A and B are shown apart, each in its own frame.
Chain A
């Protein structure tokens, strides 16, 4: 009998799940190593054949090409490494503006979809179904080719109050010029922000003590707007606006927003807004009707029901997918390559790669940027989910 068991167990050595698992993993790792070493040999051979150097030395070499928009000082004499920074910053610019614009549009449309007004709800639905079912690249090209390139020439610019101009070459807006003493105005702005903060603290204390509610938001906002203006007037208007003016065939002065940026921004924002709108709708719909009714039955006003009961709960549902949408917007900003806006992929993975040929280093660096952002977003979401999770038994 015992012999039998021994025999059985020895013959079933292969059937022991632990042994199997270890063997399988060894095999798996072996295959992986084989595969990767193969790729490495191939690559080194190929690189040798084509005479391409490896390593990151190219980052300190002179780039020798210009970039049409840069947030930091840059010209042909700067290094390839600098082109990476320029591209990254241009991506960041699109990301910030795009996130802001898509959030505003997305929330408006999402709330509109739930409106009790039939027409508004319908129009919002139409918006969502149109914009999210057409490739974002097509939308970017549409704004760029079909809208911005048929705008009038600078001389016939579309203008808003003779200070903002839109034409074939882009959007021209006034630029602030910081003269002497403008520090005081900025100081006033900071002071107003701090005062608003103190005010909100005081209002809370007073509310706890006496129950009186102070309109913190309105007064605080008024303060932040009014104080710098008053100081600005008193200090003799140290900050002025430099208006763009038509000189010859083009505008001088002010800030120029290039058409590529406008097209990219509009395309990304309207596309992403359709997704955000759906999130917002889902978030608000996830709050049961009973919550609204219970709050109403307690006598809370419509505004307070929203701000105290619905929004805090809806936010838990809305924010995680919102973060994903923002991430997608940033990733999609790489489509700028198609219209020539100089963001990371266009500048670094496009021009720099063509100039140096160092595909592996450059693609790895570019991917690392996006992967880092992704990692940060998912860390944020984990943090958010654990922090905001409703306590259940």
Chain B
């Protein structure tokens, strides 16, 4: 696993120049509570177009909650979230609008088990983008080829391995031609031998300049593709830095502790 991370390291140099200056996502002073529990505390984060952010932190630190707020799967109570120029409010139109532009990949894939792989991919383009079916199928096949499973198009999700399912989930999001992709621990439900096939797809996506926010503990991946790594703990952003200094010389004690824990095995 390390060998090929090294190999990808070379590309990463070129990758890091690709981030633009346009702001894609902005969180300002975001606070969120579950009942009386304060999950997100004064989150400030700006993501520029083409930037790739990796978010890490101990379990329960609010990572999932934060990225789920970005496409309004969760509602925040204080602060402002702007996505691609749209401010998130309770307005259903706004929510549907930004969800077209923001793709999301879940830890447990969440493919629709009653639809074939191809139908999973064409569902949203047909009903949300209102594209001709023929066209959506072509697009779906294109992305299925990119995630290297065009031959599985007519199978049902239940017939695929975990890694294959996750790649379908990525393809399904890409079919909507999103501006941003959110990943919530996409590899943590997978067996080790399947992690690589999913990470490869994600790395390729990064090389094409997709804006990405990725919750993951794959540090090799973070070093290869991230522009910035964010460390969260107790609902707040503790440290934010480029991958090199982040891993080599973490500033905060909590970051050091966390890194020593996950790197020790």
Mark A residues whose CB is within 8 Å of B: 207-213, 288, 290-291, 293-302, 304, 308-309, 312-313, 316, 390-393
> In this complex, what residue of B is CB-closest to A298?
B124
Contact with A along B124-159 (1 / 0, CB 8 A): 101111111111100000000000000000011011
How far is the CB of B107 from the nearest CB of chain A, in Å?
9
Q: How far is the CA of A302 from the CA of B114 in the complex (A)?
A: 19
> In this complex, what residue of A is CB-closest to B107?
A290
Q: How far is the CA of A207 from the CA of B129 in the complex (A)?
A: 12
A393 pairs with B130, CB closer than 8 A: no
Q: Which residues of A contact B114 (CB under 8 A)?
A: 312-313, 316, 390
Q: Which residues of A contact B169 (CB under 8 A)?
A: 294
Contact with A along B27-42 (1 / 0, CB 8 A): 0000000000000000
Contact of B106 among A210, A290, A392 (CB under 8 A): A290
B123 pairs with A308, CB closer than 8 A: yes
Q: Which residues of B contact A308 (CB under 8 A)?
A: 123, 127
Given A293-B73, A293-B106, A309-B112, are A298 and B99 also a contact pair (CB < 8 Å)? yes
Determine whether B12 belongs to the interface, using a CB cutoff of 8 Å to chain A.
no
A300 pairs with B134, CB closer than 8 A: no
A299 pairs with B106, CB closer than 8 A: no
> In this complex, what residue of A is CB-closest to B134?
A208
22 CB < 8 A contacts A-B = A208-B132, A208-B134, A209-B133, A211-B126, A211-B129, A211-B133, A211-B136, A290-B108, A290-B110, A294-B104, A294-B110, A294-B111, A294-B112, A296-B73, A297-B104, A298-B99, A298-B124, A302-B92, A308-B127, A313-B112, A316-B114, A393-B159
Determine whether B103 belongs to the interface, using a CB cutoff of 8 Å to chain A.
yes
How far is the CB of A230 from the nearest CB of chain B, in Å?
32
Q: How far is the CA of A313 from the CA of B156 in the complex (A)?
A: 14
Q: Which residues of A contact B110 (CB under 8 A)?
A: 288, 290-291, 293-294
Contact of B113 among A210, A295, A390 (CB under 8 A): A390
Sample of 17 further A-B pairs with CB below 8 A, known A296-B73, A298-B176, A393-B160: A208-B132, A211-B129, A212-B130, A290-B106, A291-B112, A293-B106, A294-B110, A296-B99, A298-B99, A298-B128, A300-B124, A300-B128, A312-B114, A316-B114, A390-B158, A391-B158, A392-B159
Q: How far is the CA of A300 from the CA of B115 in the complex (A)?
A: 16
Main secondary structure, interface of A, reads: helix
B99 pairs with A208, CB closer than 8 A: no
> In this complex, what residue of B is CB-closest to A301?
B96
Q: Which residues of A contact B156 (CB under 8 A)?
A: 390-391
Given A297-B99, A298-B172, are A393 and B158 also a contact pair (CB < 8 Å)? yes
Q: Which residues of A contact B8 (CB under 8 A)?
A: none
Determine whether B255 belongs to the interface, using a CB cutoff of 8 Å to chain A.
no
How far is the CB of B171 from the nearest CB of chain A, in Å?
12
Given A211-B131, A293-B110, A294-B106, are A299 and B176 also a contact pair (CB < 8 Å)? yes
Q: Which residues of A contact B158 (CB under 8 A)?
A: 390-393
Interface size for B (C-beta < 8 A) is 38
> In this complex, what residue of B is CB-closest to A291?
B110
A207 pairs with B126, CB closer than 8 A: yes
> In this complex, what residue of B is CB-closest to A204?
B133
Contact of A207 among B71, B106, B133 (CB under 8 A): B133
> In this complex, what residue of B is CB-closest to A288?
B110
Determine whether B173 belongs to the interface, using a CB cutoff of 8 Å to chain A.
yes
What are the 4 tightest A-B residue pairs by CB atom distance, in nearest-first order? A294-B110, A298-B124, A299-B99, A391-B156
Q: Which residues of B contact A298 (CB under 8 A)?
A: 99, 103, 123-124, 128, 172-173, 176
Q: How far is the CA of A391 from the CA of B123 in the complex (A)?
A: 19
Determine whether B48 belongs to the interface, using a CB cutoff of 8 Å to chain A.
no
Q: Which residues of A contact B124 (CB under 8 A)?
A: 298-300
B103 pairs with A297, CB closer than 8 A: yes
Q: How far is the CA of A293 from the CA of B106 in the complex (A)?
A: 9
A391 pairs with B135, CB closer than 8 A: no
> In this complex, what residue of A is CB-closest to B97?
A299
Given A290-B106, A391-B158, are A213 and B99 also a contact pair (CB < 8 Å)? no
Q: Which residues of B contact A293 (CB under 8 A)?
A: 73, 106, 110
How far is the CB of A386 from the nearest CB of chain B, in Å?
15
Determine whether B100 belongs to the interface, using a CB cutoff of 8 Å to chain A.
yes
Q: Which residues of B contact A304 (CB under 8 A)?
A: 127-128
How far is the CB of A367 from the nearest CB of chain B, in Å?
39
B132 pairs with A210, CB closer than 8 A: yes
Q: How far is the CA of A211 from the CA of B122 in the complex (A)?
A: 11
Q: How far is the CA of A339 from the CA of B136 in the complex (A)?
A: 61
B135 pairs with A211, CB closer than 8 A: yes
Q: How far is the CA of A312 from the CA of B119 in the complex (A)?
A: 14
Q: Which residues of A contact B104 (CB under 8 A)?
A: 294, 297
Contact with A along B47-84 (1 / 0, CB 8 A): 00000000000000000000000010100000000000
Q: How far is the CA of A337 from the CA of B230 in the complex (A)?
A: 74
How far is the CB of B71 from the nearest CB of chain A, in Å?
6
How far is the CB of B135 from the nearest CB of chain A, in Å?
7
Q: Which residues of B contact A312 (CB under 8 A)?
A: 114
Q: How far is the CA of A390 from the CA of B160 in the complex (A)?
A: 13
Q: How far is the CA of A288 from the CA of B126 in the complex (A)?
A: 23
Q: How far is the CA of A302 from the CA of B160 in the complex (A)?
A: 28
> In this complex, what residue of B is CB-closest to A206?
B132
Q: How far is the CA of A304 from the CA of B160 in the complex (A)?
A: 26
Q: Which residues of A contact B159 (CB under 8 A)?
A: 391-393
Q: How far is the CA of A300 from the CA of B132 in the complex (A)?
A: 17
How far is the CB of A93 from the nearest CB of chain B, in Å?
36
Q: Which residues of A contact B160 (CB under 8 A)?
A: 393
A213 pairs with B130, CB closer than 8 A: yes
How far is the CB of B102 from the nearest CB of chain A, in Å?
8
Q: Which residues of B contact A302 (CB under 8 A)?
A: 92
Within 8 A of A (CB), among B146-196: 155-156, 158-160, 169, 172-173, 176
